[in-house]
């Protein structure tokens, strides 16, 4: 892959990770807010979704780091 396309992938995956991280924060806030008449089932769903989004964010950061290392390896070979 070319350096330009790898840089685009690094930026894209970082953006995905930050969006997932920010969304998980808002979902977690929904869990800790006082619940008046809200069933516990909704809290479980919100926590599971928060955990999935945090895992997705971690995976996106890992892919971003992987592509960044590929860019660095290409620059060393040149």
Which DSSP string corresponds to 8-50? HHHHHHHHHHHHHHHHHHHHHHHHHS--SS--HHHHHHHHHHH
Q: Using 50 as the pLDDT threshold, list the residues of the chain that sit under it.
A: none
| CA distance between the termini of the chain | 14
pLDDT value of position 3: 86
pTM exceeds cut of 0.95: no
Residue 26 has which token pair?
A: 């808002």
pLDDT at residue 76 in the model = 87
């Amino acid at each position: 892959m070319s350096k330009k396309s790898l840089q685009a992938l690094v930026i894209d995956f970082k953006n995905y990770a930050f969006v997932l991280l920010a969304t998980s924060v808002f979902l977690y806030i929904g869990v800790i807010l006082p619940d008046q008449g809200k069933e516990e089932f909704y809290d479980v769903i919100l926590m599971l979704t928060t955990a999935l989004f945090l895992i997705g964010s971690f995976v996106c950061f890992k892919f971003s780091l992987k592509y960044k290392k590929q860019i660095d390896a290409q620059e060393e070979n040149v």
